[in-house]
């Protein structure tokens, strides 16, 4: 059981980000096709980055009691692509939220400026 803690934490965290996305319609629930494309491209980019780092001897898999120990390729643990998807989704939810807050703030400041 201990070997699945990190994977479980990643999946719970990803689920929480998707709940925020659903609640505020920031990424997947705003435009599912575009979000799927961005997520796939982001995942592919970061996997290529990881493979290049592994090939260059920069990245390596550390032994951790909380990881599953399952590897998809040499030095590429099962948890890595899940983490990368979480990274992309988290970034895009934060970006979508920031854009919405800035638009709301900008709209409010325009209305205040027009009232003067």
pLDDT in tens, 72-82: 999 999 999 99
Partners of 76 in the β-ladder: 73
Distance of CA 82 to the CA centre of its chain: 9
pLDDT in tens, 17-50: 999 999 999 999 999 999 999 999 999 999 999 9
Query: pTM for the full model?
Result: 0.86
In the chain, the N- to C-terminal Cα span, in Å, equals 64
Based on its alpha-carbon atoms, the radius of gyration of the chain, rounded to whole angstroms, reads 19
Query: Distance (Å, rounded) from C-alpha 43 to C-alpha 85?
Result: 6
């Amino acid at each position: 059981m201990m070997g699945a803690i990190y994977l479980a934490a990643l999946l719970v965290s990803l689920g929480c980000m998707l709940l925020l996305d659903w609640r505020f319609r920031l990424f997947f629930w705003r435009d599912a096709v575009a979000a799927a494309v961005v997520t796939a491209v982001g995942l592919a980019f970061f996997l290529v980055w990881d493979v290049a780092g592994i090939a260059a001897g920069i990245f390596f898999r550390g032994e951790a009691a909380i990881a599953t120990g399952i590897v998809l390729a040499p030095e590429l643990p099962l948890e890595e692509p899940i983490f990368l998807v979480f990274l992309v989704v988290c970034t895009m939810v934060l970006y979508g939220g920031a854009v919405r807050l800035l638009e709301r703030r900008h709209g409010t400041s325009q209305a205040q400026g027009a009232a003067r």
